[in-house]
Amino acid sequence: MDTTLGQVIKASVTDENSQYFFAQVDGVTYEIDKSELEKPLKVGGFVTGFAYQNEGHRLQITKTIPTVQKDQYAWGTVVNARHDLGVFVNIGLPNKDLVVSLDDLPTIKDLWPKTGDRLLLAIKEDNKGRLWGGLAQQDIIQSVSRQAKLGAGIKKGDQVKATVYRNKLVGTLVLTDDYQLGFIHRSQWEQEPRLGEVVTARVLGVNDRGIVNLSLKPLAYKLMDEDASFLLIQLQRKADHFLPFNDKSDPTALKAQFGFSKSQFKRALGRLYKERLISQVDGGIQLTEAGQKD
Q: Where are the beta strands (DSSP E) in the chain?
A: 7-16, 20-25, 28-33, 46-53, 59-62, 74-82, 86-90, 98-101, 118-125, 131-135, 159-167, 171-176, 181-185, 198-206, 212-215, 242-243, 278-281, 284-287
Residue type, 291: G
Tell me what pLDDT residue 149 has. 84
CATH superfamily of 74-136: Nucleic acid-binding proteins (2.40.50.140)
Instruction: State pLDDT tens for residues 147-172.
Output: 888 777 788 889 999 999 999 999 99
Residue ranges of the alpha helices (H) in 18-154?
138-144
The per-residue pLDDT for 294 is 56
Within 8 A by CB and 6+ apart from 171, the residues are 183, 184, 185, 186, 188
Q: Which CATH class is domain 220-293?
A: mainly alpha
**pLDDT score of 224:** 66
From CA 13, how far away is CA 21, in angstroms rounded?
A: 7
Residues 6 or more apart whose Cβ sits within 8 Å of residue 248: none
CATH 2.40.50.140: which residues of the chain? 74-136, 146-215
Q: In which band, very low, low, confident or very high, does the pLDDT at 221 lie, cut at 50, 70 and 90? A: low
Superfamily of domain 146-215: Nucleic acid-binding proteins (2.40.50.140)
CATH 1.10.10.10 domain extents, the chain: 220-293
Look at the pTM and tell me if it is higher than 0.85. no
CATH T-level fold of 7-62: OB fold (Dihydrolipoamide Acetyltransferase, E2P) (2.40.50)
